[in-house]
Amino acid sequence: MDEPTANLDPLVRNELLEIIQERIEEDNSSVFYSTHITSDLDKVADYLIFIYNGKIILQGEKDVILENHCIVRGKNELLSDDTKNVFVSVLKNSFGFEGLVFNRKEAYDLFGEEVVYDNINLEDILTYYTRGNKSEKNN
């Protein structure tokens, strides 16, 4: 299905998602669901494939993707060529850095308690992956 909930009001969107979920469970089937509405994916998806510019940029079980990724915030002095490698994308400004890491455990091994770790949702993950690898913006 390509964008099946686009242009639907929230109530009808939720009803349609419930119907899809029921059919998946009753028939033990799969649904290929193409959408930009990540909140729909939060509700019904088990496995995700993110495609950007015709290339697969991320795939896996939704829960594993959400578990492994997180936002890391800290002081700019903590960024180096070695520590930047754990980030999908990182932004710097005069207050510090914020970036998406694809391996929460590896980030913790690098930074320990010196940074803040925040959970992330699918929309944020997509945003970080598509805004460019290892981007830096100085404000």
d(CA 87, CA 100): 6
pTM over 0.75: yes
Distance CA 3, CA 52 (A): 16
- Compute how many other C-beta atoms are within 10 angstroms of the C-beta atom of residue 46: 11
Q: Determine the Cα angle at 120 with ends 22 and 68, to 5°.
A: 85
Domain boundaries, the chain: 10-45, 66-130
The predicted-structure confidence for 65-107, as pLDDT tens digits, reads as follows: 999 999 999 999 999 988 888 999 999 999 999 999 999 999 9
- The Cα–Cα gap between 60 and 127 comes to 17
Q: Is residue 28 scored above 50 in pLDDT? A: yes
What's the mean pLDDT in 7-23?
A: 88
What local confidence, expressed as pLDDT, does residue 121 receive?
Answer: 93
In this prediction, residue 31 carries a pLDDT of 83
Q: pLDDT at position 100, please?
A: 96
Which is more confident, 135 or 1? 1
Q: What is the pLDDT, as a whole number, of residue 76?
A: 95
